[in-house]
Amino acid sequence: MSPVLTIGLPELTESDMERLAEECEEAVSRFVLKSVPKKSISELSVICVLDVSNDRSQLDIDVQLNLVQEYETGHSLEALAEEATRHAASWLEKKLMEMKGS
């Protein structure tokens, strides 16, 4: 389930949304690479989709994580995906608060 953030959104252009999604993907990728041994990863794909409600009062985030490992590391990939989603929500909340403050 995707977290819901209620912080009051700054004005977001389409360009802002694209940049936030790309930066979110980078942040989640770094999080995963810190959580799982890099040598064990043969493929890592992260997609962050941001969707603003029609009244522009809510921003939903959907994190899609695809991780293929060369060998088993004992990490639960399901738990890692949930942690990555929480990390993405926290990262996004921080970025939005920074944007709102500037």
Q: What does the domain layout of the chain look like in residue ranges?
A: 4-101
Whole-prediction pTM value? 0.84
Angle between helix 77-101 and helix 14-35 axes, rounded to 10 deg? 140
**pLDDT for res 2:** 58
* pLDDT digit string (tens) for the chain, length 102 residues: 556 555 567 788 889 999 999 999 999 999 999 999 999 999 999 999 998 888 777 788 899 999 999 888 888 889 999 999 999 999 998 998 888 876
**β partners of residue 51:** 60
Nearest CA to 26 among 98, 87, 100, 101?
87
Taking each continuous run of H as one helix and of E as one strand, the counts in the chain are 2, 3
Measured CA to CA, the distance from residue 98 to residue 94 in angstroms comes to 6
User: What's residue 52's pLDDT?
Assistant: 84
Q: Is domain 4-101 given the CATH code 3.40.640.10 in the classification?
A: no
Gap between the Cα atoms of 17 and 42, Å rounded: 29
pLDDT score at 13: 86
24 and 51 in contact (C-beta within 8 Å)?
A: no
